[in-house]
């Protein structure tokens, strides 16, 4: 099964770390990602830039609304995603519970929606075959 792991971070807390501490934390995260790679669990991932550079799109009364920054009014913002392969939720939680990034903020572990993702893959293939 595929899982999407959403890593949240308190940007102010991370920014307040001394550079050597922040660097060490990043290296610990990368090293654990290597453990996941070697175990065949790491599918991919992306780190996200500052939420201050985000734009949120929504609709209000049928009109497009564009807001600078993240939608949520929380201290922790989405910092990145990790795509994980695991047998089930129990294994996914066991793997991610060891990730050093959990020290900086929570990780939401959610199963990928296999049926919708299959539809997306079929559409991608259909478009790619037309090219």
User: What pTM was estimated for this model as a whole?
Assistant: 0.82
Give residue 72's pLDDT: 64
The pLDDT of 34-55, averaged and rounded, is 91
Sign of CA dihedral 13, 19, 24, 30: positive
Q: Give the pLDDT of residue 51.
A: 82
Please give the structure tokens belonging to residue 43.
């599918």
According to the model, what pLDDT value does residue 73 have?
Answer: 66
Domains in the chain, CATH or no CATH each: 2-130 (3.30.70.1060)
Instruction: For residues 34 and 11, give the distance between their C-alpha atoms in angstroms, rounded to a whole number.
Output: 24
How far apart CA 101 and CA 109 sit, in angstroms, is 13
The residues near 59 (Cβ < 8 Å, ≥ 6 apart) are 65
């Amino acid at each position: 099964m595929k899982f999407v792991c959403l890593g949240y971070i308190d940007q102010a807390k991370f920014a307040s770390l001394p550079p050597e501490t922040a660097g060490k934390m990043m290296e610990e995260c990368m090293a654990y990602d290597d453990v996941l790679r070697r175990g065949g669990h790491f599918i991919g991932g992306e780190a996200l830039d500052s939420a201050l550079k985000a734009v949120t799109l929504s609709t209000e009364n049928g009109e497009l609304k564009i807001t600078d920054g993240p939608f949520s009014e929380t201290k922790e913002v989405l910092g990145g995603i990790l795509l994980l392969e695991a047998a089930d939720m129990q294994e996914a939680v066991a793997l991610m519970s060891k990730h050093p990034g959990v020290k900086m903020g929570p990780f939401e572990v959610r199963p990928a929606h296999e049926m919708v993702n299959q539809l997306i893959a079929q559409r991608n293939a259909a478009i790619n075959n037309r090219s």
